[in-house]
Amino acid sequence: MAPLHQLAQSLVNCQRCKLAKLGRTQVVFGVGNPHANIMFVGEAPGFHEDLQGEPFVGAAGKLLNELLASAGLSREQIYIANVIKCRPPNNRDPEPDEVETCKPFLFQQIQFIRPQVVCSLGNWATQTLLERKVGITKVKAQPFYLKDFVLFPLFHPAAALHQSALLAPLKDDFKKLKAFLDHHTTTLNPTPNASSATTLPFESPKPTQMELF
């Protein structure tokens, strides 16, 4: 059994934090190509995700699909997960203890999938993956060269649905993502069962990129 599938099975009835007893329907582990070069990470499951057991299937998911297409990507070739695997009551923000409980599983997903690029959607995912407090507006659409992958923060699609003024910047930032990917690779394997992933020849990290912090 593949390690990613083993991890998913181990969390099917997770009782590690209080969200297990606060009305969740099921654990929403993640979905997509287990050999993906590009991974997207959101905040937490919403109403539709909790019912269907899959991230980004509601209105935000529909918008994400359109944004992916604009960047030359599809759901079949990427992997999508959330920081939190269970829906918080009434879609409230995750609480610190819930993030700390679930965060190791996200990092295990990344370890098993080994994406070259991880796109964090919104503040929670960005702060969790950068492991520091920073506003998404300050860092969006900029590549951060971390130890094992390049982080590319973006607004969360749900934010653009709630604040229409964010939709145009979000679309523009997906164009920047496409330009970044096009600059670093000529092909992205769209086959979900591919046994080998195309290596993206990223440039060396630049020390000045972390001066924001």
pLDDT digits (tens, 9 = 90+) for 20-59: 999 999 999 999 999 999 999 999 999 999 999 999 999 9
Q: Report pLDDT for 175.
A: 97
- C-alpha to C-alpha distance for 26 and 150, rounded to whole angstroms: 31
50: enclosing H helix or E strand = helix 47-52
Q: What single-letter DSSP state applies at residue 132? A: S
CATH level 3 topology of 17-183: Uracil-DNA Glycosylase, subunit E (3.40.470)
| Half-sphere exposure at residue 211, Cβ-oriented, CA atoms within 13 angstroms | 4
Q: Are 171 and 155 in contact (CB under 8 A)?
A: no
pLDDT digits 0-9 by tens, 97-155:
999 999 999 999 999 999 999 999 999 999 999 999 999 999 999 999 999 999 999 99
In this prediction, residue 202 has a pLDDT band, given cuts at 50, 70 and 90, of very low
- C-alpha to C-alpha distance for 25 and 154, rounded to whole angstroms: 28
Q: Report pLDDT for 184.
A: 82
Is pTM, for the whole model, over 0.85? yes
